[in-house]
Amino acid sequence: MTRINSVLVANRGEIARRIFRTARDLGLSTVAVHSTADASMPFVPEADAAVHLPGNTPADTYLRADLIIEAAQRAGADAIHPGYGFLSENAAFAQAAIDAGLTWIGPPVDAISSMGSKIEAKKLMAAAGVPVLAELTPAEVGATDLPVLVKASAGGGGRGMRVVTRLEDLAAEIEAASAEALSAFGDGTVFCERYLAGGRHIEVQVMADQHGTIWAVGERECSIQRRHQKVVEEAPSPLVERIPAMRPRLYDAARTAAAAIGYVGAGTVEFLADEAGEFYFLEMNTRLQVEHPVTEETTGLDLVELQFAIAGGAQLVPEPPPTVGHAIEVRLYAEDPLRDWQPQTGVLHRFDLSSGVRVDSGVVDGSEVSPYYDAMLAKVIASGPDRTAVARRLAGVLERAAIHGVGTNRDLLAWILRHPAFLAGDTDTAFFDKHGVGAGPDDAAVRVSALAAALADAAGRQARTPVQVASGWRNVPSQPQRKKYQVGAVGYEVAYRLTRDGLVADGNVRLIQADPERVVLDVDGVRRSFAVAAYAGLVCVDSPLGNVSLTPVARFVDPAQQVAAGSLVAPMPGTVVRVGVQVGDKVTQGQPLLWLEAMKMEHTIAAPADGVVNELPVDAGQQVEVGAVLAVVGEDA
C-alpha cells in the first residue's frame, strides 16, 4: 500500500476546491498552485499551502509541468491530483510526476497515451469489439457521407470540431479545425466521421483498481450541448431508462474498453447513441469528469475518495452500489447565449444560490472572472427520487439566485429544465437547433424592473438629502423625473414623480414601498416585490418576473469614449488568433474578418455590412482588452 500524506492539485477553480474538500475529510494536507490572475480566487486560501506560478495564460502556468512538479517538491507534497482539463490527460506529465517520486492519482501512463489520440483510440476499441463509427479520411468524404463531423485527434472540450453539411465547405472547415486544434493542443491532426445530427451523448463512469476489478458505476446522459460542450448532465440516462436492454450492453462495452488498455482509476467511456439504442464509441476520458457529481448523488459514492484509495493500492469490492433516484447537473457559465455564447468577464459582485442543492463552485462574492480560463463558474446539482421534480426544483433555485456583476446562462438553464421536451426526456445533441435558446425576461418585465431601479435610486437619494427635499420635487404637478437604462443594445426610459405624498410611479403601476434595496409595486392590480442592488455602472434587479441587469445611461456622453462609425470592438478581453483580411479589402456582410480567442472558445468577428476594410489595428497573436477597436469597415466609395 502507498501512503499519501499531502496532495498537490494541479488545477484551479471548482475542481481544486472539490478535491481539497475530500482530501481534508481524509486528513490529508493540501497544496494549491495558482496563476497571478487567480491569486485571490477562493481555492487558493482553502489549501494548506499555495505556490505561485508567475503569469496568467495556461501556457505560462497550469500547463507548465516542470513548474507544477517543482511546486509539489517545494511544498512537501507526495502526490499529485490533476483534476480535469489542463494536464490531466497528459501522459508526459504523469510520467514526470512518477519519475519525481510522486504518487500519480490517475490512470497508468500507457492508458493515457493509448487514449490520447482519438484516431488510435478508435482502432484499439474496434479491435477489442467495442462498437465504433467508421473513421473517414478527409480525402474520401463524398456527398453521400454528409453530414460529417471534423474532429481534432488530440484533446477535447469541443475544440477543433466542425459539422460539415456541404462538400464545398469541407476543405475550409478542416483547415479551421486543424488551426484551432494546433492552437489548443499543439497537434493539428484532424479526422472525419459520420455525424448523427440527433444523436444522444451517453457515457459510463468506470472505476478500476490495481487488482483487476472494473466497475461500471452507472451511466450519464450529456446530450444538451453548445459548441460540442456539455451544458446539462444527468444520471441515469432517460434514453437508457426507456430501453432497459441497452444498459447491460453499454456497461459491457465500457468495461471492455477499460480492460483493453489496462485501465486503473476513475475514467469515463463516452458513446454516441441513436433513438433505437444502438451506440458507438466516441472517446475515453482518462480522468475525473466535470459531471461526476450526478453519479455521486445517485450512488452515494465519493469518486475522489475512491481515486485516492485506488492510488494507494486499495481493492474494490466486486460490484458497485446501484443507482438510486435521479440527479441533474447544470453548468453555470459566464456567457451570453443570446449573443452566440459570448463569454462575460468582470467582478462577480454577488453569488448567492438558495440552499437545498449541491453547488460545486469556483467563485464567491467579489471573485474576478478573467478571460484566461474556462467560462464555467459553478455546477449546480439537484437530486431526488423523481426526475421531473428534480428538474423543477433546480429551475426554481436558478431563478431565485442572486448573481450580480457578470452575465451568465442562468436563464437558459432554467428554461431548459422547464421545457416540455426536456421533461419528456426528448434530448439530443441538436436540442438548441430544434428549440432555440429561450429568452430572458420579456420587455414588460425589464421595463417594470427598470422602474423599480429608478425608484430605489430616488429613495436612496431622498434618504441622503439632509432637508428631505430631493431633486425634482415640485409643489404643484409638473414634468416627471426620467431615468434611462440600457440592457444589451436596447434602451429603456422610465418616469416617476416626486410629490408632497412621496414617490409616485407613472402608468399602470402604483408604488407601495420604495427603499434603496427593496421596492414593492402594484402592477395591474398584482403586488410584486423587487430586490435592487446598485454597483458602479450597474444595477441588478431580482424578482419573480426575472433577473435583470441594467446599465444606467449617463445624461452626457464623454466624447473620448466614442468610436468611429463602422468600428468593430472586442466584446471581451482575448487574443487575436487569426486575421483573414487586409486594409483595402472589400468585404460582405457576415464575412469573417478575424478570430478572437477567450475563455477557451474561439469567436468570429464578422463584417456588420458590405464595405471596405479601412483600418485593421491588430495582428495575430495580439492581446486586446474589451472595447478595443479590432477593425473599421467603411462604405465602398
| CB neighbour list of residue 65: distance below 8 Å, 6 or more residues apart | 87, 90, 92, 93, 96
Task: Give the whole-angstrom CA distance, residue 503 versus residue 519.
Answer: 11
Q: Which residue in this structure is represented by grid cell 464575412? A: 591
Which one, of 509, 457, 463, 513, lies nearest residue 485 by Cα?
Answer: 457
Task: Give the whole-angstrom CA distance, residue 113 versus residue 109.
Answer: 6
H or E element in which residue 282 lies: strand 279-285
Give pLDDT, residue 530.
98
Beta bridge partners of 52: 34
10 Å CB burial of residue 170 (0-12, 13-18, 19+) is buried
CB 536 within 8 A of CB 510: no
Task: Give the whole-angstrom CA distance, residue 180 versus residue 174.
Answer: 10
Give pLDDT, residue 466.
57
CB 280 within 8 A of CB 133: yes
H or E element in which residue 362 lies: none
CB 394 within 8 A of CB 328: yes
Which 8-state DSSP code applies to residue 186? S
Would you give the end-to-end CA distance of the chain in angstroms?
77
Q: Which three cell numbers stand for residue 257?
A: 474498453
Give pLDDT, residue 161.
83
Radius of gyration of the chain (CA): 27
Give pLDDT, residue 409.
97
H or E element in which residue 215 lies: strand 214-221
Q: Which three cell numbers stand for residue 485?
A: 437604462
Give the start-end residues of each E strand in 430-555: 481-487, 490-499, 502-505, 509-514, 518-523, 526-535, 538-543, 546-552
Q: How many CA atoms lie within 13 A of 557 on its CB side?
A: 7
Q: What domains can you pick out in the chain, each with its CATH number?
A: 6-105 (3.40.50.20), 443-552 (3.30.700), 559-634 (2.40.50.100)
| CB neighbour list of residue 144: distance below 8 Å, 6 or more residues apart | none
Give pLDDT, residue 477.
61
Q: Spell out the SS3 assignment of 570-636.
A: CCCCEEEEEECCCCCCEECCCCEEEEEEECCEEEEEECCCCEEEEECCCCCCCEECCCCEEEEEECC
Q: pTM for this one?
A: 0.88
| SS3 category, 85 | coil
Q: Which residues of the chain have pLDDT under 70?
A: 155-158, 184, 464-478, 501-502, 506, 556-565, 599-601, 637
CB 106 within 8 A of CB 94: yes
Task: Give the whole-angstrom CA distance, residue 465 versus residue 450.
Answer: 23
Task: Give the whole-angstrom CA distance, residue 178 versus residue 281.
Answer: 22
Give pLDDT, residue 475.
60
CA angle 528, 529, 531 (to 5 degrees): 150
Count Cβ atoms below 10 Å from residue 313 Cβ, excluding itself.
13
- Mark 271-293 as b/e (b = at least 16 C-beta within 10 Å): bbbeeebebbbbbbbbbbbbbbb
Q: Which residue in this structure is represented by grid cell 410611479? A: 505
CB 362 within 8 A of CB 378: yes
Count Cβ atoms below 10 Å from residue 515 Cβ, excluding itself.
13
Would you list the DSSP string of 142-179? -GGG-SEEEEESS--TTTT-EEE-SGGGHHHHHHHHHH
Give pLDDT, residue 295.
98
Give pLDDT, residue 243.
96
Count Cβ atoms below 10 Å from residue 258 Cβ, excluding itself.
26
Which 8-state DSSP code applies to residue 321? P
Q: Considering Cα of 448, then 450, then 454, then 456, what sign does the dihedral take?
A: positive
